[in-house]
Amino acid sequence: MGGSTGLTRNWDFMRQVGAKARQQLIRAAATRLEIPEGRCKTRTGYVVCDAIGAEIPYQDLVAEAAALPAIEEDVPLKDLADHRIVGKAQTGVGAKDIVTGRAKYGIDTKRDGMRYAAIARSPILNGTVKSFDASEAKKIDGVLDVFEIKGPKPNEPYQILASGVAVVATSTWKAFKGRQALKIKWEPGPNAEDSSDKFWAENKSLLSTKGQVVVDDGAFDEAMGEAKTHITHTYEVPFANHAPLEPQNCYAHVQEDRCHIIVPTQSPSGASRSANAVTGIPRENIHVEMTRVGGGFGRRLSTDYVAEACMVSKHTGWPIQLQWSREDDVKNDFYRPAGTHEMHAGLDGNNKITAWSQRLASASKHYRRPNVLDENLWKPELYSDDFPRRIIENLRLEYHHNAIGVPRGSWRAPAHTANAFVIQSFLDEIAHETGQDFLSLSLELYGEERELEYGNHGGPTFNPGRLARLLKFVAQEIDYKTPRKEGRGVGLATHFTFGGYGAHAIEVTVDDGSLSIERIVAAIDCGFAVHPSAVDAQLQGGTVDGLSTALGLEITVKEGRIQQSNFHDYPLARIAEFPSRFETHILPYDDIPTGVGEMGIPSAAPALTNAIFAATGKRIRRLPILEQLRVGG
Amino acid sequence: NGKPVSLSVEGDTPLLWVLRDELNLTGSKFGCGIGRCGACTVHIDGQAQRSCMTPVSTIENRNVVTIEGLAENDELHAVQKAWLELDVPQCGYCQAGQIMSVVDLLKRVPNPSDKDIDELHNNICRCGTYPRIRKAIHRAAELQGGKS
């Protein structure tokens, strides 16, 4: 599942399933008691008929209920207020297995006859194997087979990410050791000169020319011409690695006419498609089993590791557990796209924003996706109906694609992480430069509650008044209006993400280049919270993810090679970076639940950088943050 | 986990992979292989250690406890209880390592302050359960009555 849709897509459907099952149990009880259905009702695990004092536990009725014909027509649903589980505090499913070490993840898979595999992948983007010498690797006791894995051609869709050499052994460690002993000569290929420096320079030069105009509301040029004040700033958002804590892995057993896959993935259908593409076995003969997943964040929407495991199993005929190392995972990813955003605003004599544009040069997420036309590469980068569309009348969005050879994909809340940072930062800059207060300016722009058309994922509508409510709430909680002393400051931000609404207020101190987050207030409006503890957990986790990534994480490229490799140079934040004053709030809205997995991230980073500005006067226009505080002071 | 184990593997094999591949104790997890994330944390003679960085040759005749051996009979350890009470896990992958690290932390500092936690607890949780981990550490200290 992706896009925070797990609950929303199934909510009405699952409620009907539950209601029909309950009705079926009532029917079975009424039949047994020979009374009309209408005289029976349910009460925590029992069908009861108070009039005759009957009480039958569900478990006694299951067989009879299952034997009845299924109810076709929709049945009335329980009132939300009457639910005993939905909307109430529950402990996570499987929590006890987790704390006792019994929960089974993909990496824990064991099957009879299983061998372990590791792959040495090209360290150069789109590089290939020129030649390899496996003689030392084969001397290692337990190494069973070594062979080449062919990657996709440059610019072809990715079945797998890279060419390489596979090592199959009797244990994970032996496969890793065998891989280390390989001597491989790589053919550099077309991307061997790619670098981050070149990427940012190319973006700058792309932005000096006119791009593809993808939204052009009102009369932008005229409005800019008439504006009394013009404000322009440029922001940069880097590539980021998903880094789920369980490195990619997959069990595959490819046989003559069938294939068995056991895999931690967000996409079982993708797993089946990958296995089919590699083996040619019809999908009805491909059996995919899902395990618990040690983190996804969008990485496990791709199923390249499934294709790899199938290639190795097909080649050897053995059941294979393919295991990636952390280094494999950092260096081979569908990274969050990087981009340069040039923002323009025009304001009239009353400091009202009358024109707005976002000009973006980025590495589109849809690069090398099958069946994507070049003219549509902008779509996953600029969500065309995001704020301030339909609020600022004269609005233009413009796009340039940078075709750097870094693979990219969906990273939790995809383009919202970049766009919320850019838009909420720019709004804060406009406020400061025109002597306005960020909160007042924001509230004026969002305005009253009303439904605006929203055609992107998370629509069909967007209610900016719900953002206003959240922003006011977090501002009040953190006592935004009270001035702080020198070196201390509060920042605010809010964003609409895939149907749900989030906001953050963050208070920081910056002392001689050293940043401390003193307090975090986060709020979510997900309509109706079905599982409040999980909603709260997602808000906490999303906030941590947004801040951790903004603080210190960046993937860079040099000579066609990803430069980071493990947690020493891709330093995910630890507990010490987050304050004990970490407050999360769920603001109920209506009875329609939205997703919750991604709403906690986008507004976290700009709330932090707005706070840093409030504390120091230093504007952070490029992520990640920490290096700039250290260097620039 | 209290039982003597004897097996023949190469001495440079990290304890983690012996536990996982040879002894089928898969509760200790592989996260980074360089001792940075702590998902592989076990107790060796009562002390928390990163098993991905511990060659098996160095632990001959020593007492190793993994997450599977933490609960005594069916009675969960106070840290496990606190983890359940505060519903800490999300994906759960790092939590065995978090718990093993915290059990050791509370032995050394039975009543840790927030600052102690910041200084002494450095396991990575990619899901960001840190706010609940912090609360659960305090709760576990309380359940243990401030004793190590």
Min Cα distance A125 → chain B (Å) is 23
For chain B, say whether A570 makes contact (Cβ under 8 Å): no
Residue pLDDT, tens place only, B114-144: 999 999 999 999 999 999 999 999 999 999 9
**Mean of pLDDT over chain A:** 96
Dmax (CA) of chain B: 44
User: Could you tell me which chain B residue has the CA closest to the CA of A601?
Assistant: B128
Query: Looking at this predicted complex, what is its ipTM?
Result: 0.98
Q: Do B84 and A96 touch (CB under 8 A)?
A: yes
Nearest to A475 by CA among A442, A446, A497: A442
CA distance B82 to B71: 13
- The answer to whether residue A66 scores a pLDDT higher than 60 is yes
CA distance A189 to A205: 25
pLDDT, average across residues B98-102: 98
Among the ranges given (A189-198, A337-346, A624-633, B48-57), the one the predictor scored with the smallest mean pLDDT = A624-633
CB A496 within 8 A of CB A558: no
CA distance A611 to A618: 10
- Residue in A115, A116, A173 to test binding to B, most B beta-carbons within 10 Å: A173
CB A199 within 8 A of CB A404: yes
Secondary structure of A317-369 in HEC code, one letter for each residue: CCCEEEECCHHHHHHCCCEECCEEEEEEEEECCCCCEEEEEEEEEECCCCCCC
CB A294 within 8 A of CB A264: yes
For chain B, say whether A181 makes contact (Cβ under 8 Å): no
Is the sign of the CA dihedral B28, B30, B31, B33 positive or negative?
positive
For chain B, say whether A585 makes contact (Cβ under 8 Å): no
Place of tokens 């983890």: B83
CB A160 within 8 A of CB A152: yes
Q: How many C-beta atoms lie closer than 10 Å to residue A193's C-beta?
A: 11
Interface of A with B in 323-342 (CB under 8 A): 323, 325-327
Count the helices and strands in chain B (H runs, E runs): 5, 3
Strand ranges inside A452-544, DSSP E: 452-453, 461-462, 488-497, 500-511, 514-525
User: Could you tell me which chain B residue has the CA closest to the CA of A101?
Assistant: B27
CA distance A72 to A64: 18
User: Could you tell me which chain A residue has the CA closest to the CA of B86?
Assistant: A91
Min Cα distance A400 → chain B (Å) is 33
Interface of B with A in 30-49 (CB under 8 A): 30-34, 36-37, 39
- The tokens describing A201, both together, are 């320079």
With bands split at pLDDT 50, 70 and 90, how would you rate the model's confidence at A205? Answer: very high
Which parts of A140-295 fold into alpha helices (H)?
172-180, 196-207, 220-226, 268-279
With bands split at pLDDT 50, 70 and 90, how would you rate the model's confidence at A1? Answer: low
Percent residues over pLDDT 90 in chain A: 89
CA distance B147 to B141: 8
User: Could you tell me which chain A residue has the CA closest to the CA of B12?
Assistant: A173
Percent residues over pLDDT 70 in chain A: 99
Q: Which of A92, A296, A574 sits opposite B122 (nearest CB)?
A: A574
Q: How many C-beta atoms lie closer than 10 Å to residue A628's C-beta?
A: 18
How many contacts, defined by CB atoms under 8 Å, are there between A and B? 177
Interface of A with B in 52-81 (CB under 8 A): none
For chain B, say whether A246 makes contact (Cβ under 8 Å): yes
With bands split at pLDDT 50, 70 and 90, how would you rate the model's confidence at A631? Answer: low
DSSP code of A397?
A: E
Question: Which residues in B lie closer than 8 A to residue A574 (C-beta atoms)?
Answer: 121-124, 130
CA distance A514 to A506: 16
Residues B96, B29, A597: CA angle, nearest 5 degrees: 75
CB A242 within 8 A of CB A333: yes
Is the sign of the CA dihedral A280, A285, A289, A293 positive or negative?
positive
pLDDT at site B148: 66
Question: Which residues in A lie closer than 8 A to residue B71 (C-beta atoms)?
Answer: 100
CB A405 within 8 A of CB A190: yes
CB A576 within 8 A of CB B131: no
- Give the list of residues 6+ apart from residue A224 with CB closer than 8 angstroms, or none: A230, A344, A346, A355, A394
Place of tokens 């993994």: B66
- The tokens describing A238, both together, are 């880097």
DSSP code of A190?
A: T
CA distance A570 to A327: 10
Is the sign of the CA dihedral A294, A298, A304, A310 positive or negative?
positive
Interface of A with B in 127-156 (CB under 8 A): 141
Distances in whole angstroms, Cα of residue A372 to Cα of each of A363, A555, A586, B42: 14, 25, 38, 48
Helix, coil or strand: residue A58: helix
- The answer to whether residue A401 scores a pLDDT higher than 90 is yes
For chain A, say whether B87 makes contact (Cβ under 8 Å): yes
Pairing verdict, β A452-453 and A286-290: unpaired
Residues pairing with A622 in the sheet? A236
CB A91 within 8 A of CB A97: no
Q: Do A566 and B33 touch (CB under 8 A)?
A: yes
Phi, psi of A149 (to 5 degrees): -115, 125
Which of the pair, A399 or A74, is modelled with greater confidence?
A399
For chain A, say whether B116 makes contact (Cβ under 8 Å): no
Strand ranges inside A24-127, DSSP E: 41-43, 46-49, 54-57, 115-121
Question: Which residues in A lie closer than 8 A to residue B112 (C-beta atoms)?
Answer: none
Nearest to B92 by CA among A90, A102, A261, A263: A102
Residue pLDDT, tens place only, A257-292: 999 999 999 999 999 999 999 999 999 999 999 999
Q: Which of A245, A323, A578 sits opposite B39 (nearest CB)?
A: A245
pLDDT at site A456: 96
CA distance B12 to B1: 22
Helix, coil or strand: residue B37: coil
Q: Do B128 and A99 touch (CB under 8 A)?
A: no
pLDDT at site A51: 86
Question: Which residues in B lie closer than 8 A to residue A538 (C-beta atoms)?
Answer: 90
Would you list the DSSP string of A474-491? HHHHTTTTSPPPTTEEEE
CA distance B33 to A176: 11
Residue A605: in which H helix or E strand, if any?
helix A604-616
Helix, coil or strand: residue B43: strand
CB A500 within 8 A of CB A599: yes
CB A557 within 8 A of CB A565: no
Helix, coil or strand: residue A77: coil
pLDDT, average across residues A71-82: 87
Q: Do A246 and B34 touch (CB under 8 A)?
A: no
Residue pLDDT, tens place only, A336-363: 999 999 999 999 999 999 999 999 999 9
pLDDT at site A633: 42
Phi, psi of A319 (to 5 degrees): -70, 130
- The tokens describing A338, both together, are 């990087």
Place of tokens 């979510």: A524
CA distance A518 to A510: 10
User: Could you tell me which chain B residue has the CA closest to the CA of A321?
Assistant: B21
Residues pairing with A395 in the sheet? A217, A356
CA distance B31 to B97: 10
Asked whether the bond before A76 is cis by omega within 30 degrees of 0, the reply is no
CA distance B70 to B106: 14
Min Cα distance B68 → chain A (Å) is 6
pLDDT at site B147: 75
CA distance A321 to A614: 51
Q: Which of B76, B87, B126 sits opposite A533 (nearest CB)?
A: B87
